[in-house]
Amino acid sequence: MSDATEPWLIVGLGNPGPDYAANRHNVGFMVADLLAERIGGKFKRAQKAQAQVVEGRMGPPGPENRRVILAKPMSYMNLSGGPVTALRDFYKVPTDHIVAIHDELDIDYGTLRLKLGGGDNGHNGLKSMTKSMGADYHRVRFGIGRPPGRMQVADFVLKDFSSTERKELAYLVDRAADSVECLLAEGLERAQSAYNS
């Protein structure tokens, strides 16, 4: 069992580069960017992994204050496991102190679900992480809903949020960032009861 002094690795999943920046599949990056802003850090290239990282502390002063490494793998979504495992090993982070923030097709847009472990539900980023290090990490699942009509899933996740969705996006990203802070400070059950909708 890990203790309160061990660091947390918070991973926003997405694809690198400006062409993907506003895609549904990149909502993990959006949440990670906001968390970096909140702790007053800027992403820099990691020494030991194909990723960008920010190190800092999260939470109120006192026992709930946590050392965190925020990360955005720069390997493309379906290869996320390699960089995440390299960061886990370098920073000596227990697997249950890793949080993956990702888009989730099977949940309505804007709905959040936090959980520990479980399957990948066809998500290539999770599939790669689980293959590299097992499934016992936390997930913050950000609902994007299913594609309309006959649109292929791959096309849907690689499209930008619609203009209607964008009206709420900043608020929803903010709420997802809050849920990560709550998870670290108060534990999974408290975060689930506050944010799982």
Q: What is the pLDDT of residues 115-167, one digit of tens each?
A: 999 999 999 999 999 999 999 999 999 999 999 999 999 999 999 999 999 99
Check pLDDT > 90 for residue 23: yes
Average pLDDT of 66-83?
96
Pairing mode of beta strands 8-12, 66-73: parallel
Check pLDDT > 90 for residue 40: yes
Our answer to whether residue 123 is catalytic in this structure is: no
Average pLDDT of 29-44?
97
Q: Which tokens belong to 146?
A: 């299913």
Q: Average per-residue pLDDT in the chain?
A: 95
pLDDT of res. 65: 86
Contact between 114 and 141 (Cβ < 8 Å): yes
Given 25, 102, 123, 138, the catalytic residue = 25
End-to-end distance of the chain based on CA atoms, in angstroms?
Answer: 29
Average pLDDT of 5-32?
96
Check pLDDT > 90 for residue 1: no
pLDDT of res. 194: 97
Name residue, tokens 């599949």: 25
For 86-107, what is each residue's pLDDT tens digit? 999 999 999 999 999 999 999 9
Check pLDDT > 60 for residue 2: no
Return d(Cα 156, Cα 146) in angstroms, integer: 8
Q: Which tokens belong to 8?
A: 């947390």
For every residue of 140-170, DSSP letters joined together read EEEE--PPSTT--HHHHHTSBPPHHHHHHHH
